[in-house]
Amino acid sequence: MLKGKTAVVTGSTSGIGLGVAKALAQQGASVMINGFGEAKEIEALRLSLERLSGAPAAYQDADMSKPGEAAAMIMAAELTLGKVDILVNNAGIQHVSPIEEFPADKWDMILAVNLSSSFHTIRAALPGMRARGWGRILNIASTHGLVASVNKSAYVAAKHGLIGLTKTVALETATTGITCNAICPGWVLTPLVQKQIDALASHQRMTEGEAKAKLLAEKQPSHDFATPEQIGGIAVFLCSDAADQIRGASLTVDGGWTAQ
């Protein structure tokens, strides 16, 4: 379905971002991944994406906290892969603390990575999309773009801001072939979440299954995790012709979290 299209996915060397990158590659898209990790592992990922898509894949180590690097990554994708048809803003970081104890530098970094980087990549990618008359911008937000939780002031503020940015870009491109939407996952079983599960199990002397159940029971009524592959499938759908008139939407993948 996406043969001949080119995608950039930020924060895509693991977790949700990698799930999205693989799903787009499976549909034939050339993909540029971005993120941190061991050079050998990243090269193996890049080659695996080429095998999936039958098209070139690339990697950029741009630091999403730095505006210049975020914008330069889009230029690099245009030079390396020819264009940017699909932009998936997925890069994100987290810090948990009561607001009166929240380090100011952590606030600034979370806002930079989770919100401002999307502004910079969209700003850089839109001119090319407009020139070609087609584009898909997908912002990976969160249930925390719609509701809040304690001790996550910066993350919640950034993700709420990302939903607002999504709506604005959707309106500014409403009469074009470019769409902008957000995907709002709840608990997704990624390597980072698995670390939380392992830590909870160790700290409270639980089995892994008990720790998972406790984590899910607090928020997610389905008592089950979403998967990176499921998020990838939704990303593919939003790139399809069927999604042409889905604009400025926030699609929840949260097991009923925000239905409560």
- Alpha carbon separation from 94 to 23, 39, 223 (Å, rounded): 25, 24, 23
d(CA 42, CA 58): 10
**Cβ neighbours of residue 77 closer than 8 Å, sequence gap 6 or more:** 6, 8, 32, 58, 60, 83, 84
Active site residue 59: no
Q: Tell me, rounded to whole angstroms, the distance of Cα 159 from its chain centroid.
A: 11
CB 158 within 8 A of CB 106: no
Residue 11 — left, alpha, or beta (φ > 0 → left; ψ -120 to 50 → alpha)? left
Spot the catalytic one: 16, 122, 145, 155: 155
Q: Point out the residues that are catalytic.
A: 155
